[in-house]
């Protein structure tokens, strides 16, 4: 059944991703059309003149009469690919494509080199259990593995730090950074809430974005360690699992929907006989609630992975809930999500154990 799910889902994702990279004016036309639809749907604004130049969205102030300007700007700023929103006053000159990006809280992008840039190039994978970010979750283990865990706490401590970015304004945006993270799982039924396993990862990502298309190549090291109290309570052979790997992911935005796919390969492993390849696919939907709030959006994310070392069976991660953002700085995200996982355990040496969990978590992206 799981392989059947992969047989339809993976081609569907890849068919959406396998598109010619759009020209800049194609991306502008898409943004203009989507923005027009959003204004009609959420604000009952018809006949509005929307113009987009190189990702900068222009509106006339007269079109906003009778509407809350800040809410309109915040909603338009969340459209993927929008660099900034500029309001043209009645006496403003017509927009010129070569002038500096504007200057709303939506973006502070500039062409050329930037050190420690503010904006993301490749967005987080919201349902990936190993994407580096800050989170704390509770999970009820429906189907335990070899160790009878029932109530577990999970934390992740990490972030994607952008060190440098180059914006060519013609060929797209390029960036490099660092991805440090720690993922821990705790046995909440133990008297001292024992640490079961901790995975330590350090990655170096290289990101690219052109309009609605983005990609990330990365190299990383991961090592896994069992908790001392856990080993004392459940004596078992330790597997000093560690490896170095390379990955490539591509992503396409289609309105409020994002689809992505990728693969990875371990280039060095301990133990040395581990199969090395894996693949991943996913889809995310984030959209404002019409007429409700410009700071709250429902989120639905599905992430699938298939590993050679588990005979290419599908691991499913599903997350759904609410996302809260500050429209003045949309990079920072706070999420409360219901979480479901079914597949092989992503935690350290337990990767050969099939588990099923359901829970709730808080996730922070800075």
CATH at residue 26: 3.30.300
**CA distances to 68, 156, 322, 341 from 338, in Å:** 33, 16, 9, 10
Tell me: the pLDDT tens digits for 158-173? 999 999 999 887 888 9
| 271-275, 306-310, 336-340: least confident range | 271-275
**Same domain, yes or no, for 99 and 167?**
no
Same domain assignment for residues 178 and 268: yes
If one counts the domains in the chain, the total is: 2
CA-wise closest residue to 278 among 5, 10, 4:
10
Q: Would you say 107 and 131 are in contact if contact means Cβ atoms under 8 Å apart? A: no
Most confident of 2-6, 70-74, 257-261: 257-261
Name the nearest CA neighbour of 211 among 80, 52, 58.
80
For the chain, give the mean pLDDT: 84
Instruction: Using the predicted structure, report yes or no on whether residue 241 has a pLDDT greater than 60.
Output: yes
Q: Residue 289: inside a domain, yes or no?
A: yes
Range of the domain at 68: 2-108
DSSP 15-65: HHH-SPPPPHHHHHHHHHHHHHHHHHHHH---S--EEEETTEEEEEGGGGT
Amino acid 44: pLDDT: 84
- The three state secondary structure string of 109-158 is CCCEEEECCCCCCCCCCCCCCCCCCEEEEEEEEEECCCCCCCEEEEEEEE
Residue 266: give its domain's CATH number.
2.40.160.40
Structural domain contains residue 118? no
Q: Which of 108, 125, 145 is the last residue of a domain?
A: 108
Q: Quick check: helix, strand or coil at residue 358?
A: strand
Whether 90 and 64 have beta carbons less than 8 Å apart is answered as: no
Same domain, 212 and 279: yes
Q: Which of 87-101, 118-132, 281-295 has the lowest mean pLDDT?
A: 87-101
Same-domain check for residues 86 and 140: no
End-to-end CA distance of the chain: 38
> Which range, 16-20, 52-56, 346-350, has the best average confidence (pLDDT)?
346-350
pLDDT at 65 over 50: yes
Answer for the pair 302, 341: CB distance below 8 angstroms, yes or no.
Answer: no
pLDDT tens per residue across span 136-164: 999 999 987 767 789 999 999 999 999 99
- Render pLDDT for 313-329 as a digit per residue (tens, 0 to 9): 999 999 999 999 876 66
The answer to whether residues 50 and 63 touch, using CB atoms and an 8 Å cutoff, is: no
- Predicted structure pTM score: 0.78
Task: Name the region of 163 (left: φ>0; alpha: ψ -120 to 50; beta: rest).
Answer: alpha
- The two tokens of residue 107 are 């973006």
Distance in angstroms (rounded) separating the CA atoms of residues 53 and 100: 11
* Tens digit of each residue's pLDDT (9 = 90 or more) over 99-119: 444 333 334 445 689 898 878
């Amino acid at each position: 059944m799981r392989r059947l799910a992969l047989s339809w889902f993976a081609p569907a994702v890849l068919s959406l991703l396998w598109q010619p990279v759009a020209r800049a004016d194609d991306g502008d036309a898409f943004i203009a059309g989507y923005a027009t639809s959003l204004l009609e749907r959420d604000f009952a604004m018809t006949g509005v003149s929307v113009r987009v130049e190189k990702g900068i969205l222009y509106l006339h102030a007269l079109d906003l009469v009778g509407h809350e300007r800040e809410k309109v700007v915040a909603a338009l700023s969340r459209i993927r690919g929008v660099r900034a929103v500029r309001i043209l006053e009645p006496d403003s000159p017509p927009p010129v494509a070569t002038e500096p990006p504007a200057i709303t809280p939506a973006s502070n992008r500039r062409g050329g080199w930037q050190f420690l840039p503010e904006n993301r190039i490749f967005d987080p994978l919201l349902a990936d259990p190993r994407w580096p970010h800050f989170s704390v979750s509770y999970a009820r283990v429906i189907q335990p593995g070899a160790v009878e865990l029932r109530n577990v706490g999970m934390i992740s401590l990490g972030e994607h730090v952008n060190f440098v970015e180059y914006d060519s304004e013609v060929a797209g945006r390029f960036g490099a950074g660092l991805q440090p993270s720690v993922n821990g799982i705790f046995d909440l039924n133990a008297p001292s809430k024992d640490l079961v396993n901790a995975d330590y990862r350090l990655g170096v990502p290289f990101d690219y974005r052109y309009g609605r298309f983005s990609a990330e190549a990365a190299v990383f090291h991961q090592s896994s360690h069992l908790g001392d109290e856990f080993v004392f309570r459940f004596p078992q052979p330790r597997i000093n699992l560690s490896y170095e790997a390379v990955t490539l992911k591509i992503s396409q935005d289609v309105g409020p929907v994002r689809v992505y796919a990728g693969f990875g390969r371990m280039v060095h492993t301990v133990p040395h006989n581990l199969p090395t390849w894996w693949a991943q696919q996913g889809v995310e939907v984030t959209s404002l609630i019409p007429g409700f709030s410009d700071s709250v959006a429902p989120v639905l994310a599905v992430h699938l992975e298939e590993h050679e070392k588990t005979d290419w069976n599908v691991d499913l991660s599903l997350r759904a809930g609410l996302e809260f953002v500050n429209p003045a700085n949309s990079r920072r995200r706070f999420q409360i999500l219901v979480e479901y996982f079914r597949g092989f355990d992503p935690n350290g040496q337990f990767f050969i154990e099939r588990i099923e969990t359901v829970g709730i978590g808080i996730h922070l992206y800075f």
